[in-house]
Chain A
Amino acid sequence: MAAEIKVPSLGESVTEATVAKWLKRPGEAVAIDEPIAELETDKITLEVYAPAAGTLAEILADEGANVPVGAVLGRIAEGAAAAISPHPPIADATGPPLSRIAGEGAERSEAGEGKLAALERSGPAVRKLIEESGLDASRLVPTGPGGRISRADVIAARAPVPVPPPPVPIAGEREVRVRMTRLRRRIAERLKAAQNTAAMLTTFNEVDMSEAIALRERYREGFEKKHGVRLGFMSTFVKAAIAALKELPVVNAEIDGDDIVYKNHYDIGVAVGTEQGLVVPVVRGADRMSFAEIEKTITALARKARDGKLTIEDLSGGTFTITNGGVYGSLMSTPILNPPQSGILGMHKIERRPVAAGEKIEIRPMMYVALSYDHRIVDGREAVTFLVRIKECVEEPSRLLFDM
Chain B
Amino acid sequence: MPDRYDVVIIGGGPGGYVAAIRAAQLGLKTACIESRGTLGGTCLNIGCIPSKALLQSSHKFAEVDNDLAEHGVSVGGIALDLRAMMDRKDKVVTTLTRGVEFLFRKNKIGWLKGKGRIAAPGRVVVTGPDGASQEIEATSIIIATGSESTPLPGIDIDEKRVVSSTGALTLDPVPNRLVVIGGGYIGLELGSVWQRLGAKVTVVELLDHIVPNMDRELGTALQRVLARSGMEFKLGVKVAGVQQGREELTLDLGDAERQTLPADVVLVSVGRRPYTDGLGLEAVGIALDEHGRVVVDDGFATNIPGIYAIGDVIRGPMLEHKAAEEGVALAERLAGQKTSVDYDAIPAVIYTWPEVASVGKTEEELKAAAIPYRIGKFPFTANPRARTNGYTEGFVKILAESETDRVLGVHIIGPDAGTLIAEAVLAKEFGASAEDIARTCHAHPTLNEALKEAALAVDGRAIHI
Q: A112-B403, A116-B406 are in contact. Are A124 and B429 (CB under 8 A)?
A: yes
Alpha-carbon separation in the docked complex, A128 to B429 (Å): 12
Stretch of B89-97, B111-119, B256-264, B333-341 on the interface side: B333-341
When each residue 437-465 of chain B gets 1 if its CB lies under 8 Å from chain A and 0 otherwise, what string results? 01100000000000000000001010000
Contact between chains at B404 and A132 (CB < 8 Å): no
Alpha-carbon separation in the docked complex, A146 to B406 (Å): 13
B252 at the interface (CB under 8 A from A): no
Interface residues of A in 224-249 (CB under 8 A from B): 225-228
Q: Which residue of A113, A128, A225 is within 8 Å of B338 (Cβ)?
A: A128
Contact between chains at A148 and B403 (CB < 8 Å): no
Q: A105-B459, A112-B403, A113-B404 are in contact. Are A132 and B337 (CB under 8 A)?
A: yes
Q: Nearest 6 CB-CB pairs, A to B?
A: A121-B431, A228-B336, A112-B405, A120-B431, A131-B338, A109-B435
12 A-B pairs whose Cβ atoms sit less than 8 Å apart in the complex: A108-B435, A112-B403, A112-B404, A113-B433, A115-B404, A116-B406, A122-B430, A123-B430, A131-B338, A225-B27, A226-B336, A227-B336
Interface residues of A in 100-128 (CB under 8 A from B): 100-101, 105, 108-109, 112-113, 115-116, 120-124, 128
Contact between chains at B405 and A121 (CB < 8 Å): no
Q: A123-B430, A225-B335 are in contact. Are A99 and B439 (CB under 8 A)?
A: yes
From residue A207, how far is it (CB to closest CB) to chain B in Å?
31
Q: A120-B431, A124-B429, A226-B336 are in contact. Are A112 and B406 (CB under 8 A)?
A: yes
When each residue 392-406 of chain B gets 1 if its CB lies under 8 Å from chain A and 0 otherwise, what string results? 000000000001111
Which chain B residue shows the least CB distance to A121? B431
Which chain A residue shows the least CB distance to B26? A225
Question: Which residues on the A side are within 8 Å of B336 (C-beta)?
Answer: 225-228
From residue B133, how far is it (CB to closest CB) to chain A in Å?
30
Which chain B residue shows the least CB distance to A124? B429
Interface residues of B in 411-449 (CB under 8 A from A): 429-433, 435-436, 438-439
Alpha-carbon separation in the docked complex, A120 to B461 (Å): 27
Question: Which residues on the B side are within 8 Å of A128 (C-beta)?
Answer: 337-340
From residue B207, how far is it (CB to closest CB) to chain A in Å?
34
Give the interface centre of B431, B435, B438, B439 by most chain A CB atoms within 10 Å: B431
Which chain A residue shows the least CB distance to B459? A105
Which chain A residue shows the least CB distance to B426? A123
Other than the given A99-B439, A123-B430, A131-B338, 8 more pairs (CB < 8 A) read: A100-B439, A108-B459, A112-B405, A113-B405, A113-B433, A116-B404, A123-B429, A128-B339
Question: Which residues on the A side are within 8 Å of B433 (C-beta)?
Answer: 109, 112-113
Alpha-carbon separation in the docked complex, A128 to B338 (Å): 6
Using a CB–CB distance below 8 Å, which chain B residues touch chain A?
Answer: 27, 335-340, 342, 403-406, 429-433, 435-436, 438-439, 459, 461
Which chain A residue shows the least CB distance to B431? A121
Alpha-carbon separation in the docked complex, A99 to B431 (Å): 17
Question: Which residues on the A side are within 8 Å of B438 (C-beta)?
Answer: 105
Question: Which residues on the A side are within 8 Å of B340 (C-beta)?
Answer: 128, 131
Which chain B residue shows the least CB distance to A225? B336
From residue A355, how far is it (CB to closest CB) to chain B in Å?
38
Question: Which residues on the A side are within 8 Å of B405 (C-beta)?
Answer: 108-109, 112-113
From residue B221, how far is it (CB to closest CB) to chain A in Å?
29
From residue A191, how far is it (CB to closest CB) to chain B in Å?
40
From residue A290, how far is it (CB to closest CB) to chain B in Å?
16
Question: Which residues on the B side are within 8 Å of A226 (C-beta)?
Answer: 336
Alpha-carbon separation in the docked complex, A105 to B27 (Å): 50
Q: Which residue of A99, A115, A121, A124 is within 8 Å of B403 (Cβ)?
A: A115
Which chain A residue shows the least CB distance to B337? A132
Contact between chains at A146 and B461 (CB < 8 Å): no
Question: Which residues on the B side are within 8 Å of A99 (C-beta)?
Answer: 439
Question: Which residues on the B side are within 8 Å of A148 (C-beta)?
Answer: 430
Alpha-carbon separation in the docked complex, A228 to B335 (Å): 9
Contact between chains at A132 and B338 (CB < 8 Å): yes
Alpha-carbon separation in the docked complex, A372 to B46 (Å): 74
Question: Which residues on the A side are within 8 Å of B403 (C-beta)?
Answer: 112, 115
Alpha-carbon separation in the docked complex, A108 to B434 (Å): 11
Question: Which residues on the B side are within 8 Å of A120 (C-beta)?
Answer: 431
Which chain A residue shows the least CB distance to B404? A112
Q: A105-B461, A112-B405 are in contact. Are A121 and B432 (CB under 8 A)?
A: yes
Which chain B residue shows the least CB distance to A103? B461
When each residue 75-99 of chain A gets 1 if its CB lies under 8 Å from chain B and 0 otherwise, what string results? 0000000000000000000000001
Q: Which residue of A105, A109, A116, A131 is within 8 Å of B431 (Cβ)?
A: A116
From residue A95, how far is it (CB to closest CB) to chain B in Å?
16
Question: Which residues on the A side are within 8 Å of B432 (C-beta)?
Answer: 121
Question: Which residues on the B side are within 8 Å of A109 (C-beta)?
Answer: 405, 433, 435-436, 439
Interface residues of A in 212-230 (CB under 8 A from B): 225-228
Question: Which residues on the B side are within 8 Å of A122 (C-beta)?
Answer: 430-431
Contact between chains at A105 and B435 (CB < 8 Å): yes
Question: Which residues on the B side are within 8 Å of A101 (C-beta)?
Answer: 439
Question: Which residues on the A side are within 8 Å of B435 (C-beta)?
Answer: 105, 108-109, 112
Alpha-carbon separation in the docked complex, A105 to B460 (Å): 10
Question: Which residues on the A side are within 8 Å of B459 (C-beta)?
Answer: 105, 108
Alpha-carbon separation in the docked complex, A164 to B403 (Å): 44
Give the interface centre of B335, B403, B405, B438 by most chain A CB atoms within 10 Å: B405
Question: Which residues on the B side are within 8 Å of A131 (C-beta)?
Answer: 338, 340
Contact between chains at A121 and B335 (CB < 8 Å): no
Give the interface centre of B335, B340, B433 by most chain A CB atoms within 10 Å: B433
Question: Which residues on the A side are within 8 Å of B339 (C-beta)?
Answer: 128
Contact between chains at A121 and B337 (CB < 8 Å): no
From residue B399, how far is it (CB to closest CB) to chain A in Å?
15
From residue B336, how far is it (CB to closest CB) to chain A in Å?
4
Alpha-carbon separation in the docked complex, A101 to B439 (Å): 8
From residue A152, how far is it (CB to closest CB) to chain B in Å?
16
Alpha-carbon separation in the docked complex, A123 to B345 (Å): 11
Question: Which residues on the B side are within 8 Å of A227 (C-beta)?
Answer: 336
Contact between chains at B404 and A146 (CB < 8 Å): no
From residue A286, how far is it (CB to closest CB) to chain B in Å?
23
Alpha-carbon separation in the docked complex, A148 to B459 (Å): 22
Alpha-carbon separation in the docked complex, A100 to B337 (Å): 38
Question: Which residues on the A side are within 8 Å of B342 (C-beta)?
Answer: 124
From residue B400, how far is it (CB to closest CB) to chain A in Å?
9
From residue B436, how far is it (CB to closest CB) to chain A in Å?
7
Alpha-carbon separation in the docked complex, A123 to B427 (Å): 9
Question: Which residues on the B side are within 8 Å of A124 (C-beta)?
Answer: 342, 429
Alpha-carbon separation in the docked complex, A101 to B461 (Å): 13
Alpha-carbon separation in the docked complex, A99 to B405 (Å): 15
Alpha-carbon separation in the docked complex, A123 to B436 (Å): 14
Alpha-carbon separation in the docked complex, A228 to B333 (Å): 11
Question: Which residues on the A side are within 8 Å of B337 (C-beta)?
Answer: 128, 132
From residue B46, how far is it (CB to closest CB) to chain A in Å?
31
Alpha-carbon separation in the docked complex, A100 to B436 (Å): 11
Question: Which residues on the A side are within 8 Å of B461 (C-beta)?
Answer: 105
Alpha-carbon separation in the docked complex, A105 to B136 (Å): 62
Interface residues of A in 270-322 (CB under 8 A from B): none
From residue B325, how far is it (CB to closest CB) to chain A in Å?
10
Question: Which residues on the A side are within 8 Å of B335 (C-beta)?
Answer: 225
Which chain A residue shows the least CB distance to B336? A228
Question: Which residues on the A side are within 8 Å of B436 (C-beta)?
Answer: 109, 146
Alpha-carbon separation in the docked complex, A109 to B407 (Å): 12
Alpha-carbon separation in the docked complex, A120 to B433 (Å): 12
Alpha-carbon separation in the docked complex, A353 to B237 (Å): 89
Question: Which residues on the B side are within 8 Å of A113 (C-beta)?
Answer: 404-405, 433
Which chain B residue shows the least CB distance to A224? B336
From residue A231, how far is it (CB to closest CB) to chain B in Å?
14
Alpha-carbon separation in the docked complex, A122 to B428 (Å): 10
Question: Which residues on the B side are within 8 Å of A121 (C-beta)?
Answer: 430-432
Question: Which residues on the B side are within 8 Å of A116 (C-beta)?
Answer: 404, 406, 431
Alpha-carbon separation in the docked complex, A146 to B436 (Å): 9
Give the interface centre of B342, B430, B461 by most chain A CB atoms within 10 Å: B430
